[in-house]
């Protein structure tokens, strides 16, 4: 068994698509639009087959930004090496994104940094 995809609600569908394409080499499928439900989405595919669905509906409201709430809190993207963790973290910093956690080895042995995407979702950048 494997996770087929993870989905997140977004405010700006096109900006989020561009972010994941630019920094994480995602490839967007065809934009889906259901006018009756005012719903639009993209499936973003990554090189290893993982997929992220980004979804927009004007009536969805922002969730709490408290990282201690229950539910979805982050996902991790593997970039292959410590060097690439640093390279991508610095590129994101230079481009104005929030680095919520500097590159480091965690207590459970992961090497990671944490960045916030344009809408504040936490992404761990790992080896």
Q: What is the pLDDT of residue 6?
A: 95
Is the pLDDT at 11 greater than 90, yes or no? Answer: yes
Report the relative pairing of strands 74-78 and 51-56 from DSSP bridges.
unpaired
Q: What is the pLDDT of residue 67?
A: 62
pLDDT digit string, tens, across residues 48-82: 899 999 999 999 887 666 666 667 889 999 999 99
Higher pLDDT, 30 or 72: 30
pTM of the model: 0.91
Length of the chain: 127
Q: What is the pLDDT of residue 64?
A: 65
**Among 70, 15, 80, 11, CA closest to 47:** 80
Please work out, in degrees rounded to the nearest 5, the angle formed at the alpha carbon of residue 70 by the alpha carbons of 45 and 60: 60
Is the pLDDT at 32 greater than 80, yes or no? Answer: yes
């Amino acid at each position: 068994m494997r996770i087929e995809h993870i989905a997140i609600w977004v405010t700006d569908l096109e900006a989020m698509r561009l972010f994941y394409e630019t920094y994480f080499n995602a490839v967007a499928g065809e934009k889906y639009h259901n006018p009756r439900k005012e719903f639009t989405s993209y499936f973003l595919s990554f090189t290893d087959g993982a997929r992220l669905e980004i979804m927009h509906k004007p009536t969805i409201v922002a969730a709490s930004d408290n990282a201690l709430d229950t539910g979805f809190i982050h996902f991790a993207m593997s970039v292959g090496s410590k060097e690439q963790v640093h390279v991508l973290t610095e590129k994101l910093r230079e481009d104005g994104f929030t680095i919520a956690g500097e590159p480091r080895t965690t207590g459970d042995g992961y090497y990671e940094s944490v960045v916030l995407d344009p809408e504040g979702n936490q992404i761990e950048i790992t080896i």
